[in-house]
Amino acid sequence: MLRTCAGGLITRRVAPDNGSSDMEIRVRDVGEFAILELTGRLTVNDQPGLLKESVNDAMGRGARTVLIDLSGVRYIDSTRLGELITAHITISRLGGKLRLVGTPDAILELLAISGLDGIFPRYATIADATAELKA
């Protein structure tokens, strides 16, 4: 579902259609930023490709910076961690930036254990990210 609101804000809810997952992605376009708000558990049981599709759509709409808000994510497994890596590579190859926002401690630990903590720049909030990236 895609909805355009006043001021150019575009929101989209991307939910799995297979009924086996509780992962959801809410997409908001705010100027040059695409904000992907992920919620739920990100596991191998999720519909494959939701994150990839959301990232590709955002870049296709002209976003140059994709902010992935993980504050609503309770768990992420290695399969979905791989999708985050793929998203980072895709966006970088297109000349864009991917940043993580609101990353829970458990996911920070997973990034550290897997040696990826230096790969993904992180911010506490969307406001922090957009303020620094606009400067």
Q: Is residue 71 part of a domain?
A: no
Q: Do the bridges between strand 24-30 and strand 33-42 make them parallel or antiparallel, or are there none, so unpaired?
A: antiparallel
Q: Is residue 93 part of a domain?
A: yes
pLDDT confidence tier of residue 5, bands split at 50, 70 and 90? very low
Strand partners, 98: 66
pLDDT confidence tier of residue 104, bands split at 50, 70 and 90? very high
Tens digits of per-residue pLDDT, 25-53? 999 998 889 999 999 988 888 778 889 99
Q: Rounded mean pLDDT of the chain? A: 86
Entry pTM: 0.85
Strand partners, 100: 68, 122
Residue tagged 């259609």 (tokens):
17
Q: Is residue 117 part of a domain?
A: yes
How many other CB atoms sit within 10 Å of the CB of residue 30?
16
Q: Is residue 96 part of a domain?
A: yes
Residue 3 has pLDDT above 70, yes or no: no
Residue 99, domain extent: 85-103+112-123
Q: How many CA atoms lie within 13 A of 29 on its CB side?
A: 21
Q: What is the pLDDT of residue 2?
A: 43
Tokens of 50: 């939701």
Domain count of the fold of the chain: 1
Q: Which residues contact 43 (CB under 8 A, 6 or more apart)?
A: 21, 23, 75, 76, 77, 79, 80
Tens digits of per-residue pLDDT, 49-80? 889 999 999 999 999 999 999 999 999 998 89
From 6-10, 13-17, 84-88, the region with the lowest mean pLDDT:
6-10
Residue tagged 């957009």 (tokens):
130
